[in-house]
Amino acid sequence: MQKTWLITGVSSGLGRILAQKALARGDSVIGTSRKADALPDLRERYPQRLHIIALDLRDQGSVRAAVDRAFEQRGRIDIVVSNAGYGLVGAAEEVSDQQVRDIIATNLIGSITLIQAALAHLRKQGGGRIQQLSSEGGQIVYPGLGLYHATKWGIEGFVETVALEVAPFGIELTLVEPGPTRTEFGGNLAHAEAIAAYEETPVGQTRAAVRGSWVVKGDPERVTAAMIALADQKGPLPRRLVLGADAYDGIRKALSGRIAELDSQKEISVAADFTEAELARL
């Protein structure tokens, strides 16, 4: 059965590859990009099934207008993919106020607004699916990527909550969490002005890694194939889809560590409550 997709950030990376795969199998795609003339090759090849809408995620009004226009054009959209975003390298002390505002406006507020705008349409049409691109960085952290992690951990909490709120309407949300993947993402990283004191710290190690020593195992073709398969999967859908061996290992290690730390504090945690006898007297 043919599907209709709304995909943000289709001009490059995972967004472009996902759009290509969806179109190649006969689906329709409404893609967003900062430029309305993005993907000229694909628009020429699929003039009836690919439409591009200009969208700046930092402009909430632009986001809502783009979503409304997409649903007006197609009548029904089956899968919304919130894909657009970028990374910022820099220690907390290094990043500027403007860099903080920009990445939160794009990665977090932009994604939240996109989902908010889509929900009313999905609810009225009787359901649909949202794939939110997060990353392994939504569950684990690397020194020097704190603002990126802040946006990803933030959107994960939002999506988890929304999924519970809209389940009665047949709307399903999944967080897609790839590890480092061979796209233009690394080349498009923003960088804070480095402070020399951090050079010989874990922040400096992260900086060196993103400059070229990081072995990037993730295959964007396989990542997007998994996202296509997720769109076709019969429910219930996973809340998170982890993609990549390093992502799997890193997230599993982080979760195991958090569980062990939580269990070590059980006595302290339980002791923070009123006792049953005290509650009875309140």
Q: Which residues are catalytic?
A: 134, 148, 152
CB 114 within 8 A of CB 132: no
Q: Please choose, from the candidates 149, 147, 146, 225, the residue with its C-alpha nearest in 3D space to the C-alpha of residue 181.
A: 225
| Nearest-5° Cα angle at 87, 82 to 88 | 145
Are residues 60 and 113 in contact, defined by beta-carbon separation less than 8 angstroms? yes
Place of tokens 């945690």: 269
Smallest Cα–Cα separation from 139: which of 274, 1, 249?
Answer: 249
Supply the DSSP string of 221-267, one letter for each residue.
HHHHHHHHHHHHPPSSPPSEEEESHHHHHHHHHHHHHHHHHHHHTHH
Q: Which residue has the tokens 């990081």?
A: 214
Contact 178, 248 (CB under 8 A): no
Distance CA 243, CA 130 (A): 17
For the chain, the first-to-last Cα distance in angstroms comes to 60
Using alpha carbons only, what angle is made at residue 111 by residues 26 and 259, rounded to the nearest 5 degrees?
A: 105
Judged by DSSP in three states, 279 sits in helix
Neighbours of 236 (CB within 10 A): 8
Q: Are 111 and 132 in contact (CB under 8 A)?
A: yes
